[in-house]
């Protein structure tokens, strides 16, 4: 009997510890986020054009940062993010969406820009090859994003495809709520003219991407 009562007590203690740790884990999850943001705020130093405002998340980024810890976004939450971002797409006033693919290739190759030691008066590059295959002669490319080889050949060059391509480069979150691709137009990384050149790189039949 005595043994029994000890083990009951032990069980109580175990249960109490278990409850306590699960409470602590629950509280610390939200606090952990706040602490992580505080740490980043303290650790990153504003230098030149790289200001601490870059740590500020908009609603879409904040919602996406909570995945996968909180599980994937619901379909309706994803759709709401895409709708809000789609509504903010800015298409060129002159209605032209295709620029010069040669210039587009230079921009896609360049990883310069937006760092504290880059000259902010010079145009930034897009570093597309860091994540995508594009022109076949470039052998060094990342694979975070899908291969874009033959993009225009496969999709065609209709107005709808031109608009999708421009919009996707302007702000990928207008189409894919938690995309890992930079929001080149939305975040002012590239100019409208640069995005047109990249649309040409992807769609122009003369572009090496489509040869």
Report the interface residues with ligand HEC, using CB under 6 A: 108, 126-128, 130-132, 144-146, 148, 165, 168-169, 172, 176, 179-182, 184, 198, 202
Residue with smaller CB distance to ligand HEC, 33 or 149: 149
Residue with smaller CB distance to ligand HEC, 73 or 169: 169
Question: Least separation, in Å, of the C-beta of 151 and ligand HEC?
Answer: 6
Question: Least separation, in Å, of the C-beta of 54 and ligand HEC?
Answer: 15
Residue with smaller CB distance to ligand HEC, 26 or 86: 86
Residue with smaller CB distance to ligand HEC, 33 or 80: 80
Residue with smaller CB distance to ligand HEC, 87 or 130: 130
Question: Least separation, in Å, of the C-beta of 132 and ligand HEC?
Answer: 5
Question: Least separation, in Å, of the C-beta of 122 and ligand HEC?
Answer: 17
Fill in the DSSP letter of residue 23. H
| Distance between CA atoms of residues 187 and 196, nearest Å | 16
Tokens of 28: 């610390």
Contact assessment for residue 204 and residue 98, using Cβ atoms and an 8 Å cutoff: yes
Question: Least separation, in Å, of the C-beta of 209 and ligand HEC?
Answer: 9
Tokens of 37: 């943001």
Q: What is the 3-state secondary structure of 132-197?
A: CCCCCCCCCCCCCCCCCCCHHHHHCCCHHHHHHHHHHHHCHHHCCCCCCCCCCCCCCCCCHHHHHH
Tokens of 77: 């939450």
Residue with smaller CB distance to ligand HEC, 64 or 198: 198
| Distance between CA atoms of residues 123 and 191, nearest Å | 8
Question: Which of 77, 71, 88, 68 minimizes the C-alpha distance to 188?
Answer: 88
Question: Least separation, in Å, of the C-beta of 189 and ligand HEC?
Answer: 9
């Amino acid at each position: 009997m005595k043994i029994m009562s000890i083990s009951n007590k032990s069980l109580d203690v175990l249960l109490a510890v278990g409850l306590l740790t699960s409470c602590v884990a629950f509280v610390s999850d939200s606090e952990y986020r706040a602490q992580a943001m505080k740490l980043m705020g303290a650790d990153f130093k504003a230098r030149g054009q790289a200001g601490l405002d870059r740590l500020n998340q908009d609603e879409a980024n904040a919602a996406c940062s909570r995945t996968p810890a909180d599980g994937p976004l619901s379909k309706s939450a994803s759709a709401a993010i895409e709708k809000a971002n789609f509504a903010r797409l800015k298409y060129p006033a002159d209605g032209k969406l295709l620029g010069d693919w040669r210039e587009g290739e230079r921009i896609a190759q360049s990883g310069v820009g937006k760092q504290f030691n880059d000259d902010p008066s010079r145009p930034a590059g897009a570093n597309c090859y860091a994540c995508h295959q594009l022109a076949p002669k470039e052998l060094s490319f990342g694979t975070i994003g899908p291969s874009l080889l033959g993009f225009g050949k496969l999709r065609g060059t209709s107005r709808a495809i031109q608009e999708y391509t421009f919009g996707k480069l302007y702000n990928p979150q207008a189409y894919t709520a938690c995309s890992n691709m930079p929001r080149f137009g939305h975040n002012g990384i590239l100019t409208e003219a640069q995005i047109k050149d990249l649309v040409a790189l992807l769609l122009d039949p003369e572009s090496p991407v489509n040869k």
